[in-house]
Every structure is written in structure tokens, then in C-alpha cells.
Amino acid sequence: MTPTPVKTRERILARYDSGKYTRAQVALHFTVSESLVKKLLKQRKKLGHVELLYSASGRKPSVRPEHEELMRNTLQDNPGTTLEEFRELLGCMCSIMSIHRALKRMRISYKKKRCALPSKTARTCARRAKSGSHAGRSLF
């Protein structure tokens, strides 16, 4: 369903403002719902215009921009902070995945780094099998 053009919105309100017609009659004349007429009146009263409100649509993120600075500072002080700890720190009722997406959107890597050197790499089994069907053959 496409949004009602601004010109049509203005014509709807002009007809209603004339005082000769009710909301139901205006809606019937322009073949729109009565709730649209009501919405336009409310929008004009609140915002002063009847422009399309694309920016107000959609779900708002749980992790707001004011949380981002707190997350950055926390990671600088304690790089081992887990996503669960972030959620508790922010005090927002969101999923762990929301915290992950927020960090990704901020282009912050929160992967824990190795603190110690890697362990010595060595084979864990002998080069040649002593018994079994592969006896005497090289495994590697």
C-alpha cells in the first residue's frame, strides 16, 4: 500500500477545515479511511505539517547512541567484557544478539585475545603404529 501524497493530505484537511463536512464524509469523498483523516488532524496539531514520516517508521534500536560511548569506555578499561555483562551494564532489556549487532555497527571487535603464548605444538601420537591393521605403515 502506497502512502497518501502530500497534496491529497492537504486537500483532505482543507475540506475538513471548511467546517461543512465531518471526518466520515471527508473520508468517503477521498476514498480513504476515517482513521487516516483523524491521523492527519493529529499529526498537523502535533507537528504543524502533514508531510510523510518515513524517519519515524520502524522499530527503534534497543542499544541507543548514548550507550555507545559507555560501551567504548568499558572495552578500553576491560577488553574481556562479555555480551551478557554489557547487557547488565547498559540496563536495557534486549537480547545478547542486539548487543552484538550494536558492537558490529560501531565496528568494534570484542573478540577476546590470547593473553599467553600458544602452547608448544607437538604431535600427540607416535609416527608409526605398533599394532593393528596399519602396523609398519607410516600414518603421516
Task: Tell me if residue 138 falls in helix, strand or coil.
Answer: strand
Cα–Cα distances in angstroms (integers) from residue 118 to residues 59, 109, 123, 134, in the given order: 44, 21, 15, 32
Buried b (16+ CB within 10 A) or exposed e, 100-129: eebbeeeeeebeeeeeeeeeeeeeeeeeee
**Does any domain span residue 140?**
no
Q: Let me know whether 17 and 51 are in one domain.
A: yes
Q: Let me know whether 70 and 100 are in one domain.
A: yes
**Does any domain span residue 27?**
yes
pLDDT computed for residue 68 by the predictor: 86
Query: What span, in angstroms and rounded, lies between the C-alpha atoms of 22 and 48?
Result: 21
**Does any domain span residue 78?**
yes
Task: Tell me if residue 128 falls in helix, strand or coil.
Answer: strand
Interval 88-127: pLDDT, tens: 888 888 888 988 888 888 888 766 555 656 666 666 665 6
Q: Let me know whether 46 and 77 are in one domain.
A: no
**Does any domain span residue 118?**
no
Range of 28's domain? 6-56
**Does any domain span residue 137?**
no
Number of domains in the chain: 2
Interval 1-29: pLDDT, tens: 788 999 999 999 999 999 999 999 999 99
pTM of the model: 0.44
